[in-house]
Structure 1
Amino acid sequence: MLELEVKEMIIEVLQLEDITAADIDAEAALFVEGLGLDSIDALELGVALQKKYGITLSADSQDTRRHFASVKALAAMIASHRTK
């Protein structure tokens, strides 16, 4: 399942040793509330997305902010990228 893959990527890339994929709510916010990630985390995730899926994101794009809203949003963006 793509959401599980995204959760595992977040844990691996950000070295979240105390968190399992089951601990991450796919609907919860990734930044500030929810998982509590910051802009450095976003940059690291962006690099990981580019390496793993070939997806390039613009840091100041509203679309990027929407895609990074939750695990579910990231998974949907990856899925739509795969079908192009």
Structure 2
Amino acid sequence: MADNETQTPRRPEKRMRPDDELEDLENELRRNEREFEEVSSYLRDNPIQERHLGPRNLKEGEQNLKCVYCSIVGDHYPDACARFGRVN
């Protein structure tokens, strides 16, 4: 910069006061706690059913569906394969 040019003073970045930042964090924590409680409540009210592995009635048009794991045709959906249903 040349000697005759004046430098404009830089504005300080607008920073939050520690109290404001703390309040924002506390508000976010309360929102997260409420959301957690909503999810917990939903799971209490809607228990997850145990997976059914093995033969089942396939939908119309899916009777020729071949299981990609055991190659049996028309017996079950691949996600219900009793032979390969569990990953260890």
Do Structure 1 and Structure 2 share a fold, with TM-score over 0.5?
no
Larger relative contact order (CA 8 Å, sep ≥ 6): 1
Q: Which has the larger radius of gyration?
A: 2
Bigger proportion of residues as helix: 1
Q: State TM-score, norm by structure 1.
A: 0.18
